C-alpha cells in the first residue's frame, strides 16, 4: 500500500511540474489562447485514445477469429466460447513460442485464478 501512495504522490508532483512548465512556456499567451490550445489538444488526445482502444479491441476479437463485420455486429452472430477455443490459434507474430496457452485462449484458467485469489487473500491477512 505504501508503494501505491508513493506512486500517487509522484504522479501529483509530475502533474504540478507539467502545469508549471506549461504556464511558463505560455506566459506571453492570453488566458483565452491557453484555454483554446489545451481544449484542442484534449480533443485530439481523446479522439486518438478512443481510436486506438477500438483498434486494440478489434485486434483481440481477431485473435478469437472474429473479424470484419462480425466484429462490429451484435453478439448473436459471435461463435460460442467453445467454438472459439476449438479453433486453431496461431502464435501472434513476435510472441515467444513458449507463450502460455492461456494467453492464446486455449486453456481454462479457473484453477490459476482460484490459486491466485487464495495467495492474495493469504497475503492480505498477514499484513
Q: With contact defined as beta carbons under 8 Å apart, do 89 and 104 qualify?
A: yes
Interval 32-81: pLDDT, tens: 999 999 999 999 999 999 999 988 988 888 888 888 777 776 655 556 66
Q: Given this model, what pLDDT does residue 63 score?
A: 85
Distance CA 33, CA 38 (A): 9
Q: With contact defined as beta carbons under 8 Å apart, do 61 and 79 qualify?
A: no
Name the pTM for this structure.
0.47
Amino acid at each position: 500500500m505504501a508503494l501505491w501512495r508513493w506512486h500517487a504522490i509522484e504522479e501529483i508532483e509530475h502533474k504540478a511540474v507539467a502545469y508549471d512548465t506549461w504556464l511558463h512556456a505560455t506566459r506571453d499567451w492570453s488566458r483565452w489562447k491557453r484555454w483554446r490550445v489545451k481544449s484542442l489538444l484534449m480533443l485530439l488526445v481523446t479522439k486518438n485514445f478512443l481510436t486506438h482502444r477500438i483498434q486494440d479491441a478489434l485486434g483481440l476479437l481477431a485473435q478469437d477469429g472474429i473479424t470484419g463485420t462480425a466484429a462490429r455486429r451484435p453478439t448473436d452472430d459471435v461463435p460460442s466460447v467453445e467454438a472459439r477455443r476449438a479453433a486453431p490459434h496461431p502464435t501472434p507474430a513476435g510472441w515467444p513460442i513458449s507463450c502460455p496457452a492461456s494467453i492464446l485462449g486455449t486453456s481454462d484458467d479457473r484453477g490459476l485464478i482460484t490459486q491466485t485469489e487464495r495467495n492474495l487473500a493469504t497475503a492480505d491477512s498477514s499484513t
